[in-house]
Structure 1
Amino acid sequence: MAVTKSRYASPNHFDAIIIGAGIAGPALAYALSTLPQTSENALRIALMDRSFAEPNRIVGELLQPGGMKALRELGMDDCVNNIDAISCHGYAVLYQGKTVHIPYPDKEEGRSFHHGRFVQNLRAKARTGKGVECIEATVSDLIESPEGRVLGVRATRKGEKEQSQAAEDFFADVTFVADGWSSKFRSKVLGASFREPKLKSHFIGLVLKDVRLPIPKHGTVALIPGTGPVLIYQIGEHETRMLVDAQGGLPKDIPAYIKARIIPHLPENLGDAILDSVASERPKSMPNSFFPATKQGGQYHKPGAILLGDSWNMRHPLTGGGMTVAFSDVVVLRRLLDSVVNDPTLAIPDTDDPSDLEKPPKGPFSDWSKLVPVLTDLHWERKGLAGTVNILSVALYDLFGAEDENLFVLREGCFKYFERGGECINGPVSLLAGIAPSPMYLAYHFFSVAFYAIYCLFAHPRPRKISPDSDKVQMVVPGMDEYPLLVWRSIMAIYTAAVVFLPLVWTEIRWW
């Protein structure tokens, strides 16, 4: 019997190339390696990144319970071990001197950690996958056929003489682009359907040493007048991350901004640690962008390439849902690709004709027409979780960073809604944690907050001066004479809630 030829023309030929070894890339590489395979369709996977050194970022440090669930489904939950990770049991929200406790329901747990250590564990796990090869190289371009299909990438391997090294061509039947929020291939893959990411704000990151949070092993969200929210969560036994949301661009003098605008509104025990952090190192910053997921596989999409992770879809990191979405996307994609990888038509033909036996077998991803329905299914099947996290992150940011008077009414109502406890806490935190993937459930709680905010306008006492000439105030329930104004404010609050929420829903259901 004739010997069947390999489908790999050279060592630089793979079934799949993955650009980017941050969060989504290693998870996908390992997921592909775990697909049931036969000897005829065993996969070769190239995981490429310009550097496999430990990254140093100020986000991607909190994995919600839903993300932990996805990691377990991928068989990668051990990646949170041995990195000084901290169990996270929920949130504490601080507002105007009050604290509300928002625990995860049913004793669910998330994890917080140093981003770089977690990424190194993900990469180490990917290396153990069958057929996975990690290549440290800078990808400079996508290789395309005359018809426009992506055939692979052009990249320069890292080495001592990198400047003098020639670029190499790496080929694959499918190229996954997972090179993060600043992806340089996003626009090329999406073509005419590409829309620029929308910059929402910037995060300023500090590391605090040996501090005690208002509720230990809980993330802290501080709502501060006149600026965006502040996030604080422990990332190691002795280290705590603090993220300051700066709206309208980064302040020119970040230390002065933090001292004057942030510290006075936080618990007193954090002040010295914040000052020490600002004095000892230059605060890091990064932009917070919103980028809705565009359906892939359509007429404008570049065949042969697939976006994943922040390259494809970004949301405001306020809710810490980015990694949860990325891992959940990989879970869905692995399931959808299972039938493609194990397509019986790819098997060696049962024939005695030597010429048929000598033909190289087809790769499982060689037929792009079989991947297009996978991308359509992925786009819609992920909507339950991804849509919920995306809408919640931006809607909650708009409420918590409110400067508009109507948004301020909603923010007040949101905090008082949390104070009620029970389902008013369990529902929202289940959505935030990624364990209640339902945009309809999110809509129910969002507009429940809006209507409760209106109730508070009429029923809750507010501070009022005893007399125009007095500085003393007393808490007074609004009288009938204030009702016309309150009715107008109620109408505007509902209108504002709709203006915030409904366009976000549209970004999730539109078909580009």
Structure 2
Amino acid sequence: MWSKSYDVVIVGAGVAGSALAHALSSSSRPTPLRIALLERSLAEPDRIVGELLQPGGVAALRELGMESCLEGIDAVPVHGYCVVNAGETVHIPYPDKHEGRSFHHGRFITRLREKARAAPGVEVIEATVNELVECPFTGRVLGVEATPKDGDGAKETFYADLVVVADGCFSNFRSTVMGKAGLKSDVKGHFVGAVLEDVTLPIPQHGTVALIKGHGPVLLYQIAEHDTRILIDIKNPLPSDLKKHILSNIVPQLPAALHVPIETALTKDRLRRMPNSFLPPVEQGGRHTKEGAVLLGDAWNMRHPLTGGGMTVALHDVVLLARALEGLHDLADWRAVSTTLHRWHWSRKPLASTINVLSVALYDLFGADGAQAYYTCVIFRLTYVCADENLEVLRTGCFKYFERGGECVNGPVSLLSGIAADPVLLFNHFFAVAFYSIWVLFTHSRAVPVPNSDKPVYAVPRIDEYPALSIKALRVFWTACVVFGPLMWTEVKWW
């Protein structure tokens, strides 16, 4: 068995792994680091997520000196969002001069890998990592054992002072590194995806979020000159016939201009799906993880992909981690590394927590009109059941909150896009939506069924209905607390 020694071994050449390899090679150390970047396959990946980079992610990429990776891949500028609900649309633009990008995931990853390969001291190796190599006496991770693709099947050991595991949402080593602290991701459903050809979205160069009655939201965004990605949220359990389910229940509620392109795409291409997972971050270092190893990217922390914040969080994490490790002269000193990881964990919190919490909270509201929702409050270890009707009130209030424009749009979209890293601002806007939803409940017209008629009439609540509405308002506010509170707790609690 052959062996090689490096300063850092990175498992996984995705967004986080490739970016970290480049960032560490660019540090101002007297002696450049020797870095091995291992990836099972260096062929262009083909995935249906990781195709929208928010303005905050573009800024992080620029800070890493990797903004050129967005060039030459037919990337499309993104200037904000359009939310479609029952035929009505609301425009949610990014603040002035801020721009995101959308693209084919594989093309972007290929450019990141090329950039990492060109960095001094970085060796990109196509190999399957089989296991972490640990010291038999202390349990410290000393490196990895892998099988190079261009070899004869013989395994090779890659030793390093520090091993960074960035092998994605299906990480093979998460539980090994985290031990008892490792959490199993919470899968809220799946995004089912396809590519539509030559379609016009309601607002060009904007991500489209279509709210579907009785089902989860649908996302659409252009990823190349002629290609538009559609992601359809399907709650568990998945229907036995996905195409039939989409054509019968989802397509009729989308804008008419999309019907034929979707039917064509479903006929020509296979549907692929990815789990919508949530995995809160556990602090690393010290007693929390195995010595010598660090988790990064989706291997460690995931949020719902509804808001497209995954790559933004990962790139921001890389910026801060590379900056923190730059001050360490000896990466084999685990005590010093642990102290650095502690500082890094809490320095990333403002942006990461904001995007993590917002992604799940928005999904809970936008996907409210589906199966009954259950929320587990981890503070008191009790399970609270939130009725759909209360979530629907919040969903309606959120849509009308965005319709107000001004700061009601600028604040939330700045948080969603990674421009503003402020959990307090998130708290303020979330509960502003809750209170505004209650105001809408009392003051806006709603459908009232008419006996012996299929058509309801719309009327503002009467004063004699206020007592019942007051009780419902309390339930709506409690639902908002149950949605937001446990999510925030997963971000701030100590392990």
Instruction: Please say if residues 93 and 223 of structure 1, whose CA atoms lie closer than 8 Å, have aligned partners that are also in contact.
Output: yes
- 2:406 alignment partner AA: G
Greater shift, 295-304 or 145-154, is seen at 295-304
Task: Say whether residues 1:438 and 2:429 are aligned partners.
Answer: no
Question: What displacement does 1:263 show?
Answer: 0.6
Q: Distance in 2 between matches of 1:147 and 1:339?
A: 26
Alpha carbons 2:5, 2:158 under 8 Å: kept: yes
Aligned to 2:221: 233
Partner residue of 2:101? Answer: 111
Aligned counterpart for 2:4 among listed residues 3, 12, 19: 12
Deviation of 1:281 after TM superposition, in Å, equals 1.2
Q: Deviations over 1:372-394 (max 9, x none)?
A: 01110111000000000000000
Q: Which residue of 2 aligns with 1:264?
A: 252
Matched, 1:452 2:436: yes
% of aligned pairs identical?
58
- Measured in 1, the distance between the counterparts of 2:251 and 2:177 equals 44
The equivalent residue for 2:32 is 42
User: What is the TM-score with the length of structure 1 in the denominator?
Assistant: 0.91
Spell out, residue by residue over 1:440-461, the C-alpha distance to the aligned partner (whole angstroms, 9 max, x if none). 1001000000000000011111
Aligned twin of 2:362: 396
Letter in 1 for 2:176: K
Instruction: Please give the secondary structure, in 2, of the residue aligned with 1:285.
Output: strand
In 2: Cα distance, 1:457 partner to 1:179 partner: 46
The 5 Å alignment of 1:123-202 reads 123-145=113-135, 146-159=137-150, 165-202=153-190
State the Cα distance separating 1:78 from its structure 2 match.
0.6
Is 2:410 the counterpart of 1:426? yes
Distance 2:53 2:406 in 1: 24
Match of 1:492 among 472, 475, 478: 475
Residue from 10, 21, 46 that aligns with 2:13: 21
CA distance in 2 between counterparts of 1:104 and 1:297 reads: 37
Distance 2:43 2:238 in 1: 28
Asked if 1 retains the 8 angstrom alpha-carbon contact of 2:286 and 2:335, the reply is no
Question: How far does residue 475 in structure 1 lie from its aligned partner after superposition?
Answer: 2.5
Q: Which runs of 5+ in 2 are unaligned?
A: 370-387
Name the SS of the counterpart of 1:339 in structure 2.
coil
Q: Which moved more, 1:480-489 or 1:307-316?
A: 480-489
**Distance in 2 separating the partners of 1:211 and 1:250:** 27
Match of 1:247 among 224, 232, 235: 235
Cα distance in 2, alignment partners of residues 285 and 52 from structure 1: 22
Give, in whole Å, the separation in 2 of the partners of 1:207 and 1:285: 13
2:348 to 382, 391, 396: 382
**What secondary structure, in the 3-state scheme, does the structure 1 residue paired with 2:289 have?**
coil
Q: Which residue does the alignment assign to 1:338?
A: 326
Deviates more, 1:470-479 or 1:176-185: 470-479
> Residue deviations 1:125-174, cap 9 Å, x none?
00111100001000000000121000000000003xx6x51111110000
Q: Secondary structure at the match of 2:219?
A: strand
Deviation at residue 114 of structure 1 after TM alignment: 0.1
2:448 to 447, 464, 476: 464
What is the RMSD computed on CA atoms of the aligned residues?
A: 1.1
Amino acid at match of 2:180: A
1:345-364 equivalences in 2 (<5 Å): 364=330
Partners of 1:458 and 1:478 within 8 A in 2 = yes
Structure 1 gaps of 5+ residues are 1-9, 344-363
Quote the Cα distance in structure 2 between the aligned partners of 1:123 and 1:68.
17
The partner residue of 1:478 within 431, 442, 461 is 461
Aligned residues: 475
Partner Cα separation in structure 2 for residue 240 and residue 82 of structure 1: 18
Q: Which amino acid aligns with 1:478?
A: P
Residue 341 of structure 2 aligns to a residue whose secondary structure is helix
Alpha-carbon separation, structure 2, partners of 1:328 and 1:398: 25
Q: Equivalents in 2 of 1:71, 1:265: separation in Å?
A: 37
| Separation in structure 2 between the aligned mates of residue 152 and residue 57 of structure 1, nearest angstrom | 29
Q: Name the CA distance, whole Å, in 2 between partners of 1:277 and 1:97.
A: 23
Whose radius of gyration is greater, 1 or 2?
1
- 2-side partners of 1:240 and 1:457: how far apart? 37
Q: What is the match of residue 511 of structure 1? A: 494
In the alignment, the residues of structure 1 paired with residue 260 and residue 49 of structure 2 have an alpha-carbon distance, to the nearest angstrom, of 23
In structure 1, what residue type is equivalent to 2:364? D
Give the TM-score normalised by structure 2. 0.94
Give secondary structure in 1 for the equivalent of 2:193: strand
